[in-house]
Amino acid sequence: MKVKDMMIRDLTSVTDMATLKEVADMLSYSRLSGVPVVDDQGKVIGFISEKDIIESAFPKVGMDTDMLFVRNWAQNYLRLSQVGESLVKDYMNQNPVCVEEDDDEKVVKFMLSEHKKTLPVTRDEKLIGVVTRSNLCRVLMEKSDKK
């Protein structure tokens, strides 16, 4: 099985000049966990995820949620509202892992071993879609129904 058999041709993406609030709204609305960051030609130059946005507001906490409860929620709210105007370019992963449409099922192993929920799919470095864990689940269930 190839990536092109698992991917969706979703070109939802942002530029590096988008604000974190714009991305958070987009992620919430579209139920995505992250999106590719592209330049004017559609070349993938980064990736921004929910985790990146949360860590922008709580940089010293990382994903240690115990620390979140120590803070005053009013301070948390203020910090989140300030971070919302920050630009994607300051928080995106600048070395995104992309896969090609003709890559094989090793992508599944990589996504699981590296805890990746979404991978951009490119052709000539330009975004042509994404492959997500939910895509993989759907394809696996379709295959099992055909047996």
Span 106-119, pLDDT tens digits: 888 899 899 999 99
Say what the pTM is.
0.83
> Per-domain residue ranges for the chain?
3-145
* Contact of 127 with 38, CB cutoff 8 Å: yes
Please name the residues in contact with 93: beta carbons below 8 A apart, sequence gap of 6 or more: 46, 47, 48, 49, 52
d(CA 41, CA 20): 22
- Residue type at 33 in one-letter notation: S
pLDDT in tens, 63-93: 555 555 545 667 767 777 778 889 999 999 9
Q: Which fold has domain 3-145?
A: CBS-domain (3.10.580)
